[in-house]
Amino acid sequence: MANRAHDHELCIREALAAGARICAARGAQLTRTRRRVLELVWSSHRAVKAYEILERLGEAGRPAQPPTVYRALDFLIEQGLVHRVDSL
C-alpha cells in the first residue's frame, strides 16, 4: 500500500464538519466553545486531558474555567463525538 502523507488540517476540518452535522441532525447545539474543544481534542490524535484543553484555550486568548471545559466534554461525549479515557 502506498504511503500517503496525512493531511492533519483536513482531518480536523472533516471531524468538525461531521460533528456539526451530527449535532444538527439531533437538534443539539455545537456552540463555539464546544466546537473549539472538539477541535483541540482532534488536533493531537491522542488522548488529551481536560486541563490541557483548558490551558490551550487560554493560550489562544479564550480563557475558560474548568467547569466550562468539563461541560463541553460531557456534551461531546453525549453526542458520541469523543470518548472518555479513564487514567489510573
Greater confidence (87 vs 58) lies with: 58
**Which triple of cell numbers denotes residue 12?**
480536523
d(CA 1, CA 22) in angstroms, rounded, equals 32
* pLDDT given for residue 63 in this prediction: 80
Q: Could you read off the pLDDT of 13-68 as tens digits, one per residue?
A: 999 999 999 999 999 999 999 999 999 999 987 899 999 999 999 887 878 899 99
Residues 6+ apart with CB under 8 A from 48: 40, 41
d(CA 17, CA 39) in angstroms, rounded, equals 11
Q: What is the pTM of this model?
A: 0.86
